[in-house]
Chain A
Amino acid sequence: KQEVTQIPAALSVPEGENLVLNCSFTDSAIYNLQWFRQDPGKGLTSLLLIQSSQREQTSGRLNASLDKSSGRSTLYIAASQPGDSATYLCAVSLGANSKLTFGKGITLSVRP
């Protein structure tokens, strides 16, 4: 059974800091991995999608990497801003159009 772990559960950093959010998964036979952002009481916004054949994806100040063999992914946020404060969820899929297995998320707080 696939398990996704995100540690720590919460993180507080000062504005401007570069930071890394970690995600690990137990079954390396994934189809893809996604990072999502969730604001309190809101739905999910997909940030980055990495296919199993890819090593990283970039969007603006965000960079996600994937090491399938070791079961790890990182989300790098450059020059963090207070608006980045949210919960960041990592999820893996075992196939196309397949269900996602989510981690519990990391709640990020960026202090002005």
Chain B
Amino acid sequence: GAVVSQHPSWVICKSGTSVKIECRSLDFQATTMFWYRQFPKQSLMLMATSNEGSKATYEQGVEKDKFLINHASLTLSTLTVTSAHPEDSSFYICSAHRTNEKLFFGSGTQLFVL
């Protein structure tokens, strides 16, 4: 079964509103989670590394004030897209390491901004 749960699987929102996406590790603790974004027919691009109990590390070109990441517990990281615009419409996906194992991915969230 799934070891990383991501919700919602899809969301439609109006331009200017904020959307929160949750990523949970189901049966293990994840001190580090990763958030990726994928545009159609493009590769997954890392947005940020979410660190439990500390600030997230953002990749170059990713606006930290627009994509708020909170990793308040060892099993939950959230990504909030603030003041969403149509160009933010994309597939967002999280991942987490289970100790000394390969990376597990959530099922992804398709965001549509009208």
Contact A41 B102 (CB under 8 A): no
Which of A42, A46, A96, A97 makes the CB contact (< 8 A) with B108?
A42
Given contacts A97-B97, A102-B44, A103-B43, contact A49 B49 (CB under 8 A): no
- How many whole Å from B25's CB to the nearest CB in chain A? 13
A contacts with B, residue count (CB < 8 A): 24
Which residues of chain A have a CB within 8 Å of any CB of chain B? 4, 9, 32, 34, 36, 41-46, 49, 89, 91, 93, 96-97, 99-105
Contact with A along B45-86 (1 / 0, CB 8 A): 110010000000000000000000000000000000000000
Contact A104 B42 (CB under 8 A): yes
Interface majority SS on B: helix, strand, loop or mixed?
Answer: strand
Chain B contact residues (Cβ within 8 angstroms of A): what range? Answer: 20 to 34
Which residues of chain B have a CB within 8 Å of any CB of chain A? 6, 32, 34, 36, 41-46, 49, 91, 93, 95, 97, 100, 102-108, 110
Contact A104 B107 (CB under 8 A): no
Contact A102 B97 (CB under 8 A): no
| Bound Cα distance from A104 to B38, whole angstroms | 10
Q: Name the residue on A nearest B34 (C-beta).
A: A99
| Bound Cα distance from A32 to B105, whole angstroms | 17
Q: Which of B103, B104, B107, B108 has the most CB of A within 10 A?
A: B103
